[in-house]
Amino acid sequence: MERLRDSRLVRFGAIFGSIALMGSTAACGSSTTGSSTTAADSGAKKVDSIAAMVPKSIAEKGTLTIAAATYPPAVIEPANGATPTGWDIENVRQIAAVLGLKVNIKIAPFNGIIAGLQAGRYDAAAGEIYATPERTATVTFVTNHSSTDSLMVPVGSKITSAATETDLCGHTLAAALGSAEAALAVKVADKCKSAGKSATTVKTFDSQANVNLALRGGRVDAAVSSTSQVAYVMSQTKGQFKLVELPWAPKYKTGLVLARNSDTEKFAKAVQAATDHLIENGELQKILDKFNAGQGLIKKAEILPSTGSN
């Protein structure tokens, strides 16, 4: 396991080192930067038979407004205000291109994205958002990726492994507000309490950048984040942090998150068809190879909840 982990992180470091040359990421994800991308810009081509599946109201509008919180390497917001990128942003651009649509990326705080979808402020959202039962009760996912969680700790931390949840008892854990990682940290705290162990404290922050700053500043002992996010930060911080695997943490499905309305069922099927097309022709794998060490591609897109459910 140690050898596999080290090999994975070496590959992450090599890939993310090249990403860093494109510009550093912004300090937080609370801006509302927008950027439009045409189908031609993305490299993918419109597929007429799939584009014909797009509901008329969306096709006539021609542009999807996509909410995303800064969360490298899924969502990378350059500090100079340039166009956001990252594996999930590029996935969205490719999918939209197949559908003959443009995208307008709106960088927003993570904890407001689902509410924004429900209020109709956005058509969809991206950024390695986990498909949890609580979320699929109110929004629809079209999956394109599989994610896992890990722990990030400073080099020299007393936390050297986490084979079980109770290995984290007595520590302070950080996670992004409203995230699945925050819920996971709360479950750890509850487990420690029920086992009669030292209390675990959970602190949440309004952005992943602030989670990482709290860890760097010594205000928390560890940060719970996606494995790809941990590896990205490690590649950018030159040996300040290390990854601790969480073998008991669940695996999550992620993908494009759609606002739920009268068009959702039809549009989800169009997005599913576009995603499957890009999985089959290898385009989504190319994006993951560039930004995410090739990790996380699924075999087929899935609509969650299943078509027809509300």
Q: Are residues 142 and 154 in the same domain?
A: no
Question: What was the pLDDT predicted at 238?
Answer: 85
Q: Are residues 282 and 176 in the same domain?
A: no
Angle at 20 between CA 18 and CA 21, to 5 degrees: 70
Question: What was the pLDDT predicted at 136?
Answer: 96
Which of the listed residues 245, 266, 286 is the one where a domain comes to its end? 245
Question: What was the pLDDT predicted at 21?
Answer: 31
Q: Are residues 26 and 86 in the same domain?
A: yes
R_g over Cα of the chain: 19
Question: What was the pLDDT predicted at 42?
Answer: 54
Cα gap 290→295, rounded to integer Å: 10
Q: Are residues 36 and 52 in the same domain?
A: yes
Q: Are residues 65 and 173 in the same domain?
A: no
Cα gap 142→139, rounded to integer Å: 10
Cα gap 264→270, rounded to integer Å: 10
Which of the listed residues 205, 220, 245 is the one where a domain comes to its end? 245
For 200, the token pair is: 């675990």
Q: What is the mean pLDDT of each run of 10 residues along the chain (310 residues)?
A: 38 42 32 45 84 98 97 92 93 98 96 96 97 96 97 97 97 97 98 97 96 97 96 91 96 96 97 98 96 94 74
CA 252 to chain centroid, in Å, comes to 10
- What single letter denotes the amino acid at residue 13? G
Question: What was the pLDDT predicted at 81?
Answer: 78
In-domain check, residue 304: no
In-domain check, residue 310: no
Domain count within the chain: 2
Q: Are residues 135 and 225 in the same domain?
A: no
Q: Which H helix or E strand runs over 4?
A: helix 2-20
Q: Are residues 34 and 13 in the same domain?
A: yes
In-domain check, residue 63: yes
Q: Are residues 257 and 222 in the same domain?
A: no
- What single letter denotes the amino acid at residue 307? T
Q: Are residues 116 and 27 in the same domain?
A: yes
The dihedral over CA atoms of 19, 23, 24, 25, expressed in degrees to the nearest 10, equals -80
C-alpha distances in Å from residue 63, one per residue of 67, 74, 96, 257, 264: 13, 21, 9, 16, 16
pTM: 0.83
Q: Residue 116's domain spans which residues?
A: 2-146+253-298
Q: Are residues 80 and 188 in the same domain?
A: no
In-domain check, residue 305: no
In-domain check, residue 306: no
Q: What is the CATH number of the domain that holds 78?
A: 3.40.190.10
Q: Are residues 7 and 89 in the same domain?
A: yes
Q: Are residues 218 and 97 in the same domain?
A: no
